[in-house]
Chain A
Amino acid sequence: MKLKLHVWRQNGPNDQGKLETIDAPSVSPDQSFLEMLDDVNQTLALEGKDVIAFDHDCREGICGMCSQVINGVPHGGQDRTTVCQLHMRKFKDGDEIFIEPWKARAFPVIKDLVVDRNGLEKIMQAGGYTSCHTGGVADGNALPIGKPVADYSMDAAECIGCGACVASCPNSSAMLYTGAKVAQLAVLPQGKIEAAKRVMAMTEAAKENGFGNCSNHYECQASCPKGVDVKFISKLNREYMKALVK
């Protein structure tokens, strides 16, 4: 296949940035999207040109490192698929593809398609844990947890922290990301104890780090590569209300 790429090039957070058109002349349908970019970069490198910078690591859809908006949609719009798991068979010969970085005030561009997602770290550091220290905990079976509760918690824990929810949201809200962690821990007996403190601290950190609020567009769920459900945002709101009246 022959493709025409329009790739966002930006040299640092203060650079203006622009779309650059680059040809991808021989793309195999079995290649992943990132392997296609690898090829393009090989050609650029051999011509002595600056290669396209993009974040990636595990290339099996779990590390959450890859972060590209493809044709306007984070991760390219395939159901529950990260960029690294997107394959070129989903495109056809002659396609023009627009490739941009996550766009959100909270995610300044480092270079080209690479952004700084440190704001997400700050939310987690504010309270995304149970305050247990290593050692001295009870036997794993001492606290039976019903299967539906364990499954609900696991559904929330699927989040890979890529930030697609933020990138797709008109408000750059991190509510799905935050809600997933709040919900995972709030339903478990070992996480309930600190639930109120946690939800307050995490939402406060989200605000402080430039993430907006939720206005029910649900773009986050649509673009989430793990299909994390917006019901966890509702859960976040309920936990927040409970904490407020405490």
Chain B
Amino acid sequence: MILDGKCPTGPIETSWDRHRFESKLVNPSNKRKYKVLCVGTGLAGGAAAASLGELGYQVEAFCYQDSARRAHSIAAQGGINAAKNYPNDGDSVYRLFYDTIKGGDFRAREADVWRLAQVSNNIIDQCVAQGVPFARDYAGYLDNRSFGGAQVSRTFYARGQTGQQLLLGAYSALSRQVKAGTVKLHERREMLDLVVVDGVAKGITCRNMVNGDIESHWGDAVILATGGYVNVFYLSTNAMGCSVTAAWKAARKGAYMANPCYTQIHPTCIPQHGDQQSKLTLMSESLRNDGRCWVPKKTEDCEKPAGEIADDDRDYYLERKYPSFGNLAPRDIASRAAKEQCDDERGVGPGKRGVYLDFADSIKRLSEDTIRERYGNLFEMYEKITDENAYKQPMRIYPAPHYSMGGLWVDYNCMSNVPGLFVLGEANFSVHGANRLGASALMQGLADGYFVIPYTIANYLVTVKPGEVKADHEAFKASADAVKADIDKLLSINGTKTPSEFHRELGKIMWEKVGMARSDESLKEALKLIPALRDEFWKNVKVVGTNEQFNQELENAGRLADFFEFAEILAKDALNREESCGGHFRTEHQTNDGEAMRNDEDFCYVAAWEFKGAGVEPELHKEPLKFDNVKLAVRSYK
């Protein structure tokens, strides 16, 4: 099937304004009759729940943490982009749009990206009004820094914890609505099914993680803002609880999963230290403003302390390969370059999987105090984990799974192919194409939540009768029964391996065969190994405890079961996409100097997969991508 994103036609500059005008409205006194469920309370979900509550809808918000403030948006460090052009350095809505399309390697929809760039400025204003303490200069004006893939400074920040401050802003708006009675919060709940009635999303089934109750919640629309899926690699920079579960439950009910093979491997993470490690920690991309990436030129120097290697014997490989963007090359490019150096046996540190990120020149130029003021908390975090002082010796970094550009397929209104199911933020596939630029995730989450969904959801709600289907509908009972049956099954296997052992094994397959570099051969191997491990999981997993208690082993097992089904689709998508673009690198498709080689003739489309059951061939639906405003070109950062 050919999918239609329902993007507005005509001049792109006015596309969003025209769409807003043409969208239907729900009259203020009718809004309170509609109930909207919002799963996830990060930047996208928190902002959406708060904004819809303000408009007068009845909103119920759900999160698996004990507080809405703990969603993983909180861990974003570096900043948020906006086309304010405060520094007078040539930025504009068009340039942000252009950089994002190009950064995504021409695999995103133009109209969606234009809207994102357009509303980016409103986000900054909104956050300032909420009391978000952005960095300011001595005159009291907002300060900017640079991020990868851009030659202007358009990134707003709050020390090294911009995500935290923006999320606390959204959380404060949400708290205000809870007090006002328009939003009801359900913490420590995990969504375990989407309830679909006659093809339309009408509610969710979730598990109360404290006492195991299986709860039915009805809504006239369901919003998923449930983040990304890179924990499929086991080790990633995501929080331990991040999973594909909510999105995957929707996929099992008919929602299409788009471009799952677009995964972002972030170039600057602390290298893995051992087999017992549970997660990887990101070091913000903003560090590349002042840090220089290098490895020794000679393999024999790799064992030496960094300080003993003369400048001439160092290979500042990003500056060498990409002189015009240098250390601020986009993430996919910087990650592959780091891998290349290590594959070439010039990596440093334990296991030789690491490169240096060196601040010595900047400390000399600006002073240690300036560097401390800019990145103090990151240097501290680095020291806690590695026991090394990065003011005195260079940091060691290595790429790690960080973000998923792919996600549930949505149209221009952020509605999936299942009517009534909306998907926001990282959980959808819409704006980042095959590679996300730094500081754009926060922008997208808040854009979707504050400035997109409040307009587009009305267009759908006017077509449904409020409260037509409630939790007493038979579909809710069927869903709850199915959820209980799945839980009982997991608890009854009583095998010999724990969920986390299985997760490590799955992660190893994904990282080695479907990671930073993929080939026809490695993907076909993965497609044999994943189903085999999944079968073993369902025969041999050991989940202790019961459903009727606080049971983290059960939670992990359930999430892993979904990763097992999803992983196969991810690998299938990677196999299908016979080109390299952005974060998806197929070794068969590269230029002579090792850069990604796109195939626009055959693959300039969104691949949306319809799940048909575990082990059954999924069906591929395509949405062709058209570029009317940016010329399809080979991406160059040289």
Point out residues on A near B: beta carbons under 8 Å: 11, 28, 30-32, 34-35, 38-39, 41-42, 44-46, 48-51, 53, 55-65, 80-81, 85, 87, 89, 110-111, 114, 116-118, 120-121, 124-135, 137-141, 143-147, 150-151, 153-154, 157-158, 160-161, 184-185, 188, 190-191
Q: Is B454 an interface residue (CB 8 A)?
A: yes
Tell me the nearest residue of chain A to B160, going by C-beta.
Answer: A62
CB-contacts of B152-185 with A (<8 A): 158-159, 161, 164-165, 168, 171-173, 175-176, 178-179, 185
A/B interface sample: 18 pairs, CB < 8 A: A32-B385, A46-B542, A51-B552, A58-B70, A60-B281, A63-B65, A65-B70, A85-B384, A87-B385, A121-B187, A134-B50, A137-B126, A137-B129, A140-B142, A151-B133, A154-B158, A157-B133, A184-B131
Taking a contact as CB atoms under 8 Å apart, the answer to whether A129 and B173 are in contact is yes
Given A38-B500, A129-B176, residue A137 in contact with residue B125 (CB < 8 A): yes
Closest-by-CB residue of B relative to A153 is B133
B381 engages A31 (CB within 8 Å): no
Interface residue? B549 (CB, 8 A) = yes
Q: Is B553 an interface position by the 8 A CB rule?
A: yes
Binds A, one of B270-278, B470-478, B608-616: B270-278
Residue B353 CB within 8 A of the other chain: no
Out of A49, A135, A141, name the residue touching B122 (CB < 8 Å). A135
Q: Are A134 and B126 closer than 8 Å at their CB atoms?
A: yes
Complex CA distance for A145 and B69, rounded to whole angstroms: 26
Whether A130 contacts B172 by the Cβ 8 Å rule is yes
- Complex A-B, nearest 8 residue pairs according to Cβ-Cβ distance, in ascending order: A144-B140, A129-B172, A137-B129, A154-B133, A153-B133, A111-B550, A140-B128, A134-B51
Q: Is B197's beta carbon under 8 Å from chain A?
A: no
Verify A124–B172 contact, CB threshold 8 A. Answer: yes
Residue in chain A with minimal CB distance to B70? A63
A138:B125 contact, CB within 8 angstroms = yes
Contact B72 A63 (CB under 8 A): yes
Which residue of A50, A129, A134, A141 is within 8 Å of B450 (Cβ)? A134
1/0 per residue, CB under 8 A from A, across B258-288: the answer is 0000000000000001101111011000000
What distance in Å separates the Cβ of A90 from its nearest Cβ neighbour in chain B? Answer: 10
Task: Give the complex CA separation of A143 and B179 in angstroms.
Answer: 28
Q: With A132-B126, A151-B133 given, can you name 7 additional A-B contacts, CB distance below 8 Å?
A: A87-B385, A121-B175, A129-B130, A133-B54, A144-B136, A184-B133, A190-B128
Q: How far is the CA of A121 from the CA of B124 in the complex (A)?
A: 25
- List of A residues within 8 angstroms of B239 by Cβ: 57-59, 63
For residue A48, give the distance in angstroms from its CB to the closest CB of chain B: 6
Residue of A nearest to B156 (CB): A140
A121 touches B125 (CB 8 A): no
Q: A111 to chain B: which residues have CB within 8 Å?
A: 549-550
| 8 Å CB contact of B75 from A62, A130, A144, A157 | A62
Tell me how far the C-beta of B445 lies from the nearest C-beta in chain A, rounded to whole angstroms: 14
List the A side residues contacting B496 at CB < 8 Å.
Answer: 46
Number of interface residues of B (CB under 8 A): 80
| Bound form: Cα–Cα A184–B553 in Å | 39
Whether a CB of chain A sits under 8 angstroms from the CB of B545 is yes
B599 at the interface (CB under 8 A from A): no
Residues of B within 8 A of A85 (CB): 381, 384-385
When the two chains form their complex, are residues A146 and B176 in contact, meaning their CB atoms are under 8 A apart?
Answer: no
Which B106-134 residues sit within 8 Å CB-CB of chain A? Answer: 122, 124-131, 133-134
Please, how many angstroms separate the alpha-carbon atoms of A158 and B381 in the complex?
Answer: 15
Report the minimum CB–CB distance from A58 to chain B (whole Å): 4
Whether B139 pairs with A144 at a CB distance below 8 angstroms is: yes
Q: How far is the CA of A56 from the CA of B242 in the complex (A)?
A: 12
Complex: A147 Cα to B384 Cα, angstroms: 29
Which residues of chain B are near A146, meaning CB under 8 Å? 136, 138, 140
Is B387 among interface residues, defined by CB-CB distance under 8 A?
Answer: yes
Separation in Å of the A23 CB from the closest CB of chain B?
17
Complex partner residue of B380 from A49, A56, A80, CB under 8 angstroms? A80
For residue B180, give the distance in angstroms from its CB to the closest CB of chain A.
9
Query: Quick check: B549 and A63 within 8 Å, CB to CB?
Result: no
Tell me, in angstroms, the Cα distance from A102 to B236 when the chains sit together. Answer: 29
Per the 8 Å Cβ criterion, residues 173-210 of B in contact with A are 173, 175-176, 178-179, 185, 187, 210
Closest residue of A by beta carbon distance from B135? A150
Chain B hits for A31, CB < 8 A: 274, 276-277
**Contact assessment for B498 and A64 in the assembled complex, using a CB-CB cutoff below 8 Å:** no
Q: Are B133 and A116 in contact (CB under 8 A)?
A: no
Q: How far, in angstroms, from A11 to B548 measured CA to CA in the complex?
A: 12
Closest beta carbon of chain B to A124's beta carbon, Å: 5
CB contacts (< 8 Å) of B175 on chain A: these are 121, 124-125, 128-129
In the complex, which residues of chain B have a beta carbon less than 8 angstroms from the beta carbon of A44? Answer: 544
Q: Is the CB of B139 within 8 A of A51?
A: no
CB nearest neighbor in B for A120: B67
Complex CA gap A32/B386 in Å reads: 11
Indicate which residue in A87, A124, A184, A190 contacts B384 across the interface (CB closer than 8 Å).
A87
- Taken together as a complex, chains A and B put the C-alpha atoms of A237 and B331 apart, in Å, by 47
Q: Which residue of A lies closest to B242 (CB)?
A: A57
B137 interfacial contact with A, CB 8 Å: yes
In the complex, chain B residues whose CB is within 8 Å of the CB of A30: 273-274
Nearest-neighbour CB distance to chain B for A184, whole angstroms, equals 7
A130 pairs with B130, CB closer than 8 A: yes
Residues of A contacting B74 in the complex (Cβ-Cβ under 8 angstroms) = 58, 62-63
Q: Quote the shortest CB–CB distance from A229 to chain B (angstroms).
A: 15
Tell me if B86 is interfacial: C-beta within 8 Å of chain A. yes
Name A36's closest neighbour in chain B (CB-CB): B276
Given contacts A139-B125, A140-B84, A154-B133, are A131 and B164 in contact (CB under 8 A)?
Answer: no
A130 and B278 contacting across the interface, CB-CB below 8 Å:
no
B241 at the interface (CB under 8 A from A): yes
Tell me which of B74, B84, B545 has the highest count of chain A C-beta atoms within 10 A of its own C-beta: B74
Query: Do residues B124 and A59 form an inter-chain contact, with CB atoms below 8 A?
Result: no
Tell me, yes or no, whether B21 is within 8 Å of chain A by CB: no
Residues in B with CB closer than 8 Å to A190 are: 128-131
- B240 contacts the other chain (Cβ, under 8 Å)? yes
- The answer to whether B385 and A188 have CB atoms under 8 Å apart is no
Contacts of B187 in A (CB 8 A): 118, 121
Tell me if B66 counts as interface (CB < 8 A to partner A). Answer: yes
B140's partner among A56, A64, A137, A147 (CB-CB below 8 A) is A147
Residues of B within 8 A of A160 (CB): 164
- State which of A117, A121, A143 has its C-beta within 8 Å of the C-beta of B128: A143
Chain B residues in 8 Å Cβ range of A50: 544-545
CA distance A118 to B185 in the complex (A): 11
Chain B residues within an 8 Å CB radius of A150: 133-136, 140
Q: A42 to B542, alpha carbons, bound, how many Å?
A: 11
B279 A59 Cβ-Cβ under 8 A:
yes
Cα–Cα, bound, A184→B277 (Å): 36
Contact A110 B72 (CB under 8 A): no
Q: Is the CB of A154 within 8 A of B159?
A: yes
CB distance from A30 to the nearest CB of B (A): 5
Do A134 and B278 touch across chains, with their CB atoms under 8 A apart? no
- CA of A80 to CA of B377 in the docked complex: distance in angstroms? 10
Residues of A within 8 A of B387 (CB): 87, 89
- Are A81 and B130 touching (Cβ within 8 A)? no
Which residues in A have their C-beta under 8 angstroms from that of B498?
42, 45-46
Q: Which residues on the A side are within 8 Å of B131 (C-beta)? A: 129-130, 153, 184-185, 188, 190-191
Q: In the complex, are the beta carbons of B66 and A116 less than 8 A apart? A: yes
